[in-house]
Amino acid sequence: MSRPSVVTLGCRLNTLESEIMRNQAIEAGLDDTIIVNTCAVTTQAERQARQTIRRLRRDNPDHRIVVTGCAAQLNPEKFAAMDEVDRIVGNAEKLDQAQLGAADNDATAVSNIMDIPEGELFQVPMISGFEERTRAFVQVQQGCDHRCTFCIIPFVRGTNRSVQPERIVDQVRTLCDNGHAEVVLTGVDVSSYGQENDQLPTLGRLAKQILDQVPALQRLRITSMDPAFIDDDIFQLLAHEERFMPHLHLSLQSCDDMVLKRMKRRHNRNDIFGLVRRAREARPDVIFGADLIAGFPTETDKQFDNTLNAVTETGLTYLHVFPYSARPGTPAAKMPRVEGTLIKERAARLRKAGDLALDKFLQSQIGETVEVLVEQDRKGHTRHFAGVELSFDAPVGAIVQAKVNASDAQNERLIAGPIPSIAKRQHA
C-alpha cells in the first residue's frame, strides 16, 4: 500500500488546496490513490489534465484516480467519460474530508458535482505546514465577483467569499511555529478580500494585522493583485514594513485601454503607470511581475505595441505571458479572433521583452549582498523573488546573507557565495 499523492495543475491556490487534500486523504486512509487537481484557465490546461490522467493510469494501473479542481467542476461529463477516472469531486467538496474519502457506487456520476455556494464566509481547513516547501501559502478568499470577458473561473469558483481574519492569523502563526519563514497570501481574486462585508478589513489591513500579531513571521508576500483595487495600506506596508516583500505581482492582462475595455477589466493604462509610480515612491527598490495576454480578440498591432512598450516604460521584471486561448462560454470566445500564428509571435515578443527585463535586473544585483530563503539544497529566493544558487551549504528553511557573484540568465537565477567577512571568520 502507498500513501495518497496529489498531482497539481495550475495556480498557486491549487498548490495550497492540494496540500490540504493530501492531508485529508491521508487521514481518510485513501491509500493507493492519486488525486489530480485540475485547472480550467484555458482549454489547453483542460487538455493537459486529460493527458496527465492517461499517463498516470499507464504508470499506476493499480491505483485509484480521483479527479477534482476547476476543470472537473466545469466539465465533469468529459472526465466521467474517461475510463482512467475512478471518481470525480467538485470544487465545493474537495476540501471536505468526508466527501473526498467517499466511495460512491456511481463514483463518476456528474450529479455528484455540487453547485458552488454563494454569499457566505469561506472556511478553509487549517494545515500545520507544507511537506516539501519552506514557503507557505495561506488562502484568504475564494471566488470572484467580476466577469472578465476571457475568464471562466468565476463559474467554477463562485462569488467572492473571505476568510475571517482571526482564522488567517491563526493559520499564519501555526505555519511560523512549524518552521515556515515566509507566507504568501493567495486566493482567486485576492485584492477583493473583505469587499463583500463591511465588517472585514481590506487586504492591506489584513496584511498589517498579520505582521503585527505574528512577529515570528519573517517574510510576507501577496499573490497576483488586481491593479484596480490596491488599498492604501499596501503602500504603507511598502514604505514602513521591511517584512513585507518588495515584489508585487499584478494582474494586468494588457496595457492598452481599448483591449482592457473589451476584456472588461476595471483599470486602464494610466492606472497601471500611477500604481507603479506610487509603489516606487513608497519603496524605491520594489519590483513588479505581471500577467499578460497576447493576441486577445480584436487586438491590433498598435494595441499590442502599447502593451509591449509598457514592459520597458513601467519597468516590469517578471512576466507571465499567456497566448490568448478561447474558452467556450466566455464573451471573448465570440469576438473576432487574432490569427493563431500572430498570437504566437506576439507572445514570443512579450516573453523576449520579459527575458531582457529579468536579465537586466539580475545583472544589477551582481556585487550586492542579498537575503536568501533556502528552499532546497543550495537554492532559494531573495526578497525580490530572484532565484539564487548558493556556492555554500545552508540549512533548508534558513534565511542567509550571500554575496551575488554572477548572473545565470539561461536559468533565470543569481549565483551567490558567502559574504567575504563571514567566510574569513569561518576560515579562521
> Helix (H, G, I), strand (E, B), or coil: what is residue 318?
strand
281 and 253 in one domain? Answer: yes
Nearest CA to 373 out of 357, 385, 364 is that of 385
Residue 428 in this model has a pLDDT that exceeds 70: no
- 338 DSSP assignment: P
> Residue 107: which pLDDT band, with cuts at 50, 70 and 90?
low
Domains in the chain: how many in total?
Answer: 3
Q: Which amino acid is at 340?
A: G
Would residue 397 count as lying in a domain?
A: yes
- Provide the residue count of the chain: 428
Q: Are 359 and 385 in contact (CB under 8 A)?
A: no
Give pLDDT tens digits for 115-173.
666 656 677 778 877 766 688 999 999 999 999 999 998 888 888 999 999 999 999 99
CATH number of the domain that residue 33 is part of: 3.40.50.12160
What is the percent of the chain where pLDDT is above 90?
A: 72
Contacts of 345 (CB under 8 A, 6+ apart): none
383 and 277 in one domain? Answer: no
Give pLDDT tens digits for 290-330.
999 999 999 999 999 999 999 999 999 999 999 999 988 89
Contacts of 180 (CB under 8 A, 6+ apart): 129, 130, 134, 135, 136, 397
Task: Return d(Cα 348, Cα 335) in angstroms, integer.
Answer: 23
Q: Are 169 and 285 in contact (CB under 8 A)?
A: no
pLDDT computed for residue 1 by the predictor: 65
Q: Which three cell numbers stand for residue 27?
A: 487521514
Which residues form the domain of 376?
369-427
Q: Which helix (H) or strand (E) holds 65?
A: strand 64-69
373 and 346 in one domain? Answer: no
Give the mean pLDDT of 222-234: 94
356 and 236 in one domain? Answer: yes
Residue 111 in this model has a pLDDT that exceeds 50: no
278 and 166 in one domain? Answer: yes
Would residue 228 count as lying in a domain?
A: yes
Residue 113 in this model has a pLDDT that exceeds 90: no
Contacts of 44 (CB under 8 A, 6+ apart): 325
Give the mean pLDDT of 268-276: 97
Mean pLDDT, the chain, whole residue set? 91
Give pLDDT tens digits for 53-96.
999 999 999 999 999 999 999 899 999 999 999 989 888 888 88
83 and 18 in one domain? Answer: yes
Would residue 123 count as lying in a domain?
A: no
For the whole model, what pTM was predicted? 0.89
- Least trusted range by pLDDT, from 150-164, 248-262, 272-286, 361-375: 150-164
Among residues 364, 387, 403, the one where a domain terminates is 364
Q: Which amino acid is at 295?
A: G
Would residue 349 count as lying in a domain?
A: yes
346 and 215 in one domain? Answer: yes
Task: Return d(Cα 210, Cα 206) in angstroms, integer.
Answer: 6
Would residue 382 count as lying in a domain?
A: yes
Q: Are 316 and 290 in contact (CB under 8 A)?
A: yes
Give pLDDT tens digits for 346-386.
999 999 999 999 999 999 999 999 999 999 889 999 999 99
Task: Return d(Cα 207, Cα 185) in angstroms, integer.
Answer: 8
pLDDT computed for residue 27 by the predictor: 87
What secondary structure, in 3-state letters, does 129-194 show?
CCCCCCEEEEECEECCCCCCCCCCHHHHHCCCEECCHHHHHHHHHHHHHCCCCEEEEECCCHHHCC
Would residue 129 count as lying in a domain?
A: no
Give pLDDT tens digits for 322-355.
999 998 889 999 999 999 999 999 999 999 999 9
Q: Which three cell numbers stand for residue 69?
A: 479542481
pLDDT computed for residue 91 by the predictor: 87
